[in-house]
Structure 1
Amino acid sequence: MEDNFATALRQTAELMERELDRFLPTTSSLERELCEAMRYATLSGGKRLRAFLVIQCADLFSVSRDYSVRVAAALEIMHTYSLIHDDLPCMDDDDLRRGIPTVHKKFDETLAVLAGDALQALAFEILADPATHPSGSVRAMLVGRLAQAAGMRGMVGGQTMDIYANNEDISLATITRLQQLKTGALITFACEAGALLGHASPAQISALKAFAHDLGLAFQITDDILDAEGEVEEMGKATRKDEDAGKATFVSLLGLEKAKIHANMLSKQAIGHLSMFKGNADLLMDAARFTVTRRR
């Protein structure tokens, strides 16, 4: 029997597959290979945790699922773009993603770059559409916040630090900031977007952003732990690449056991930030627990 969280996460994944399929129609025109690459990357499964966070945070404020599901889909599309580009030979040079060949291996590097570019544009197109929310100001805030989360002050900035930082100079504070940008920025957007859709108060938005901050760091530390302990078959991607490359991670800086303790502490802190929502945030609390107990 699945518990409530596992059921809700699975249902979100199934919902996203249907919604994303609708946003990514097939075509017989000259750009059909581009569409195939976009669909291949986006519809290849995944936990859909970011989408889950959008929907659950929006549910706290009784936002129509017609709106929150569209924002969740836009975020998953943005996240997929980042994965395609992260896997490129000029970045992390990965051959596997979610147990299948990466986009540049399945197609080629040029199409992988173009598919990522097109997905990024599509994410903003969805957010700007009046179907996403009747308020133009809400749509503008969503577009602005996602642009910040994805750009030089967010995900791309973190990826730049990750690639060009001198490993000998990376401290715990530096890698924490790096991962807050690279991984945490989109997770923070997921939680903040749900609040923006629901016209949440400043205090409610602050609580959800604090929750997302700790959740995102716990998520990345767990990723580092799984990279050190996991196997390719279980993870669906290469493991121990960071260690082999001598790359600084939370595990290399803290040690495996202290990294686990730190991740669990962050998970508990994240749960504490949700106290103002009383019993309405149980699934979000479960998400914080899942972040440090997952196996892939």
Structure 2
Amino acid sequence: MSGQDLSQPILPTSLRAMSFTTDPAVPREPSLLREPQLAAWAGFRVGMSQAISVEMGKHHGEHAALAMILKGRTRGQIRSRGEECDFSPGPNSVGLFAPKFDVSWTRWQCEPGAERFVVELDFADLHQAGDLEQMLTSRRTLRQNLTLSDHQLASLMRLIANEVREGSPHGALYATSLSISLAAYLCAQHASGGRTPTRERGVLTAIQKRQVLELVQRRLHENLSLDELAAAAGASRFHFLRLFKNSLGMTPYQFVMDQRIAAARQLLEKTSRPLVDIAAATGFSSQSHMSTAMKRHTGLSPGHWRRSRPK
């Protein structure tokens, strides 16, 4: 990030900051995120830093956490819970730290430009997580695995990292859905104890579906949240995600995006309004966000779409 002063921490001192405790005498990895990027993110707490070669003593985390190298080559040695691992993380490597983890010693060798990404699984960040929070904290425990290789988990982490880095242009619905999907995947694949969570087989009732679709159409221009959509259906957010996917064959975010693109196409065909006004009227965070979404879905930019309409 050009022009950015990496000599001082940029992470905010608000509740969005990570809660890990480390030896204050150890140099901190310079953050690559500014406060507006963190403030715009509506999921689990995250940190993205320039990975540096460092040796440190004990550090502790109250909540479970995930860590991965986004860019560059690194080699690490970690001693935790009496076990020591020595590894070079690959593209699908994720470190999974169990709740209330303790690391007694760490050494990292990192090439210049390496980047580290951390997600702290603190359910206070998801507020009304409801049954998902209970599932993860009461009935099942995440198994610590600092050298985990999991393509799906790494892909979810990269999606979150890209969204945070770009300032969360896809909004709260996308951010919260990503975080809940990450937690649900972890619970299903990397937890032990209690009963294994089963996949929700039900669907939205006709009334639930109508209420949700009416809300989307009525407030398409706004930054809709998963909380609001789930409330319209009278379901927890976790179950709403399952029920919606079972009912419509897509996620709530994908459905909302399809509706926004359809509405934008109508305005492009029937009006001469500026593109920036159309983007705002259909709920896109910016004109560039609308352009990217339309080109991905239709193969045409808004300008090309308008020029191709019948005269």
Kindly indicate which of the two structures has a greater share of residues assigned to helix: 1
Q: TM-score, with normalisation over the residues of structure 2? A: 0.28
Kindly indicate which of the two structures has a greater share of residues assigned to strand: 2
Higher relative contact order (CA 8 A, sep 6+): 1
Q: TM-score, with normalisation over the residues of structure 1? A: 0.29
Considering only CA atoms, is the larger Rg found in Structure 1 or Structure 2? 2
